[in-house]
Amino acid sequence: MDNSDNSDNGESLDRHLERSPGLDQARRASLMAHQVVIKLKEMGLPDDMDGQLSQLCTDLGDLWSAQNTLAKQVEAFLKSPDDWDAVGDSLVDLRATIDHMEWHMKGVRSPMGQITRWAYGQCEE
pLDDT at 17: 54
On whether residue 1 sits in a domain, the answer given is: no
Question: How far is C-alpha 104 from the geometric centre of its chain's CA atoms?
Answer: 9
Indicate the number of domains in the chain: 1
Full domain range(s) for residue 58: 6-124
* Residue stretches of the chain with pLDDT short of 70: 1-21, 125
Residues 6+ apart with CB under 8 A from 66: 97, 100, 101, 104
Contact 111, 53 (CB under 8 A): yes
